[in-house]
Structure 1
Amino acid sequence: MPTAARSDTDDGRYVGSRVAAIRKRRGMTQQMLADQTGISRGAIAKYENGERPVDSRKTLHSLAKALQCDVRDLTGHDQDRFDPRMAEFHAAVPDIEVALWTAGNTTPTGPLRSLEELAAMSNVARDLRINCQYGRVAPMLAPMLTDCYQHARDTTGAQQETAWDVLSTVADTVAKSLRAWGYPALSWTAADEAEKAAQHLGGTAVTAAAAFDRSQVLLSRPGALSRALQIAEDTAKLVTSEAQTRGELETLGMLHLQAGLVTASLGGDPDPHLDEAAELATRLSAAPAGRRMLRNPTFGANNVALWRMSSAMERRDASTVIELAPTVDPDVIPAKGRRAQYFVELGRAYAMEKQWRASLAALLRAEHTAPQHVRSMSVVRELVGHMMRIASRDLAKGDLGRLAQRVGAIPR
């Protein structure tokens, strides 16, 4: 992919352009920003000129912290809230908010669903989220929360226990869905509600899942990585001795994967946590099913290998990502979002190695796997925009140009 002049369609939709704009508003020179971030002035110049993508979480957070702005100010993530493809999801958020804030104590809008119906619906909602069908899952969430809360208030004994169990599962789906689409504070609230429900139940799955959700929220916040790691590690230590059932091992395993990723983001060695997750994956087949509903069926040996790729990418170790790729079979990863992540990580690694056509092919596979999810990813938008700026004109007008339009790197 030979170097070319910046595309005529490039209107500055990349992180570096926003860095330059905010830096100038702050009255800072490139050298002042370099001194505050520990990034060389030459690298900052390349980011701002679009010659190099900001493809590291550590770099993105350092820039946001030095510029005293939110990460979203640099990535443009808030624009995704107005994406017409996700209008149905965003339209459902106010009702979800009310259901969480009132603990379901709202004006009834329909007949109360039975606990059996709610349990079945919660599994459907979980699977829709796992497969990145957020537009379909969002309208289900507020009514399910409201009905679960009512059953928890109005029943006793075994029925009430079931109500708390279903509520914890629904709240976990709510937390993960909201975090994925730019509502971190409300996601945190949903994780709190899941854990409150778990206090009525016993077991460790919900506690581990709620800690995972909180750590994920903090992972996107500059200056919060140490706390994100502490939450994941402390909770893992707390629940390890009690985790026995399949759901408990799955959620504990995901917590170790998260701890490994955060460790890598902090520049540390993620392998102890990743190895612990791999060991937990070997115990799944012999583990009892357990009584509680909450599970994370995406966890397993294949997914552990994928998180090794993600952790290597956080350390900007592109060669390790490419070496690990053949050890992962993306076709058997049960979650479309994680399957797409495999191709995103591979695309990022190929780009770091300047294998541009291989990078584009991987990104197109990612988009084909989970279109809504991938088109909302700021790291994809940043990388595709960078490729557009250095691409030959014939390639920029082909698959790359069309992808750039779909992810919002250039205007339609």
Structure 2
Amino acid sequence: MSSEDATPDLYADPLRFGQRVQILRERRGMTQVQLADLVGISPHTLRKIENGQQKAPRLDMVMRIAEALRVRDLADLTGHPEAHVDLFIGPGHPRLAAVKAAVDSFPITGAVEPPPVAHLEARLHAAWQARHASKNHREAIGRLLPDLIRDGQALVRHADRADERRAAQALLAQTYSLSQFFIAYQPDSSLLWRVAERGMVAAQESEDPHTIGVSSWLLAQAHRDSGPRHYDAADAVSREAAAYLRPLLPDANADVLAIAGALEFELGYTAARRRETGVAWRYWDQANDMAKRLPGDYYHPVTSFSRAVMGAHAVTVAVELHQGGESVRQAARADRSVIKSRPRRARHRIEEARGYQLDNQPDVAIATLEKAFEAAPETIRYNGYARAILLEEVESTQAPRRRRAAELAGKVGILAA
């Protein structure tokens, strides 16, 4: 390939904003029509931006483009080193290195003595409870994960009978599922993929329907959050898992019903990302029907799927469809239910804030992000959408709004020093 054909280096060349948009868009495999639809402008307008016929847009549009292109660092898009802000990757957690070392370690000698199955089950149950109850859930589970991973791997290695091995694989898959919640949105995407794929393999080896459903749900999320080119893969995983569970549902327990419902919603989530309005709401309806079959006070231990969470899911669908008014209406309805899990409650508040921002209610959006911070500071710290809203509002021309956004941004720690 000649030097003229090479993709320009974003740092070596003094590129215009529009050129940077084009390069990042093409790296994502997106067409101008697709990107324009995602950010809410016409393809003609986007073409003018990329060609330099229109000056760089306002910060709110820059943030929407950054969101659509899943830009990790705002400087990549703006070309200004002083704009060095990580958007969709949070700060690496202090316990990330220890978790990574445990994931990557495969002892051959079998020196680690496995714990009794009941002991590992109890520790995993306690870890999931800590994850849902803690404001700083990554810290809570990050200190537990290295030993859980090592013991889960040891349990599989030392299993003698087929039934023992299946049970051990189910616990190892559950440990990898917990790990994925810790690793998500941290600066090591390859580690996330290793964990998601190993969790799926362990789940299949376990032959346990619930375990397979959970690992499929998480693998679908890993695909979906990798960008539009991976939406088809996300849907394929969700559909296959849903089809596998469907014959079991008439006699299924609540956990299996719930993970089947969570998979239905995942299909709706991806449809909403594609702006497929009818398809997205149809899957939401199907997930809601599944939720109605669950006891009123039931919460799925991994996904939080329940009757109460369906209102939050409706907000997410409306936000992903960029329906600001509908997002606000759904948020009002959703607030009638209480989400027990702190990180899930914080995530819901962030989705609500996105809806208020779409509906041109930035002050309410900031107030809602403050509620998210109160529920679970680590959730907002690692969430790109929350970071984007705050970074936009710290540039507001309204002084009170600017101060409030800057104060919260300082607490969250998202502004580069």
Q: Give CA deviations for 1:203-226 in whole Å, capped at 9, x if unaligned.
A: 321222122112211222232122
2:137 is the counterpart of 1:133 = yes
The correspondence of residues 221-240 of structure 1 with structure 2, limited to 5 A, is 221-222=226-227, 223-240=229-246
The correspondence of residues 167-246 of structure 1 with structure 2, limited to 5 A, is 167-222=172-227, 223-243=229-249, 244-246=252-254
2:147 is the counterpart of 1:143 = yes
Amino acid at match of 1:195: M
Match of 1:11 in 2: none
TM-score (norm 1): 0.78
Match of 1:371 in 2: 377
Match of 2:260 in 1: 252
Question: 1:81/1:410 Cα in 2 relative to 1: closer, same or farther (>3 Å)?
Answer: closer
- Distance in 2 of aligned mates of 1:75 and 1:277: 37
Question: 1:105/1:175 Cα in 2 relative to 1: closer, same or farther (>3 Å)?
Answer: farther
2:315 is the counterpart of 1:309 = yes
Match of 1:37 in 2: 32
- Distance in 2 of aligned mates of 1:271 and 1:394: 38
Task: Pick which of 399-408 and 28-37 moved more.
Answer: 28-37
2:292 is the counterpart of 1:282 = yes
Amino acid at match of 1:247: D
Question: 1:391/1:116 Cα in 2 relative to 1: closer, same or farther (>3 Å)?
Answer: farther
Aligned partners of 2:91 and 2:187 also within 8 Å: yes
Secondary structure, aligned partner of 1:172: helix
Aligned partners of 2:70 and 2:88 also within 8 Å: no
- Distance in 2 of aligned mates of 1:74 and 1:245: 49
Question: 1:32/1:126 Cα in 2 relative to 1: closer, same or farther (>3 Å)?
Answer: closer
Q: Give CA deviations for 1:99-153 in whole Å, capped at 9, x if unaligned.
A: 4xx2x547757x6432222111111222233345111211322222222222223
- Distance in 1 of aligned mates of 2:370 and 2:65: 21
Q: Give CA deviations for 1:51-92 in whole Å, capped at 9, x if unaligned.
A: 43534897335999xx99xxxx9972486334xxx31x2232
**Which of 73, 80, 84 is equivalent to 2:90?**
80
Point out where structure 2 has 5 or more consecutive residues left out of the alignment: 1-8, 26-30, 37-44, 78-82
Aligned partners of 1:56 and 1:314 also within 8 Å: no
- Distance in 2 of aligned mates of 1:47 and 1:135: 40
Secondary structure, aligned partner of 2:275: coil
Aligned partners of 2:60 and 2:392 also within 8 Å: yes
Q: Give CA deviations for 1:194-244 in whole Å, capped at 9, x if unaligned.
A: 333333443321222122112211222232122222221232123221241
Aligned partners of 2:242 and 2:264 also within 8 Å: yes
Question: 1:330/1:174 Cα in 2 relative to 1: closer, same or farther (>3 Å)?
Answer: farther
**Aligned-pair identity (%):** 16
1:260 shift after superposition: 0.7
The correspondence of residues 324-335 of structure 1 with structure 2, limited to 5 A, is 324-329=330-335, 332-335=338-341
**Which of 297, 302, 309 is equivalent to 1:296?**
302
